[in-house]
Amino acid sequence: MEQFSNTYENYKLEAKAVIPGSLSSFIWVYCKTKNVPDAQEPAFTRKVVTFTELSKYVRMNIANDFDLWYRKNEDSPELLQVLGNIINTKDGRTEPYIPAQPFGYPSQKTETFTIPGYPVPMVFVSRIC
């Protein structure tokens, strides 16, 4: 059996199928994690994308007329790609994984300071992400 070493958050989801939700206000999106063997992820992950989210994404990034775009791409791979982008953005899977620095190793040396009434030396540490 192939060993999968990275964590779940490191990989983006890929939309594989869609089913309209109740009252057609949202879409069920069935996803698989990219680069994960089927033996380790045998089932689909079901996510929800509302038509409001889809419409906003399409109007901001693809076309001004959402209705026309959706009718044209209702059963296309382009819709699956757009839904995957929306889901990955919502789940925070858009940035590449960067391991955090171990505690006790600030990214830059800075002067220590104290806060009056709190006698512990402190240092500013910039975030790397």
Distance from chain centroid for Cα 40: 20
- pLDDT for position 1: 46
Mean per-residue pLDDT for 80-102?
A: 77
pLDDT band of 112, cuts 50, 70, 90: confident
Residue predicted with more confidence, 127 or 110: 110
Q: Which helix (H) or strand (E) holds 26?
A: strand 26-33
* Contact assessment for residue 86 and residue 49, using Cβ atoms and an 8 Å cutoff: yes
Rounded Cα distance between 96 and 31, Å, is 19
Q: Would you say residue 3 has pLDDT above 90?
A: no
- Closest C-alpha among 96, 97, 120, 88 to residue 13: 88
Q: Supply 114's token pair.
A: 């104290």
55-62 own/partner pairs: CB under 8 Å, 24+ apart: 57/82, 57/85, 57/86, 58/82
Q: Is the pTM of this model over 0.75?
A: no
* Per-residue pLDDT tens digits for 24-49: 789 999 999 888 888 888 899 999 99
- Whole-angstrom Cα Rg for the chain: 21
Cβ atoms 31, 80 nearer than 8 A: no
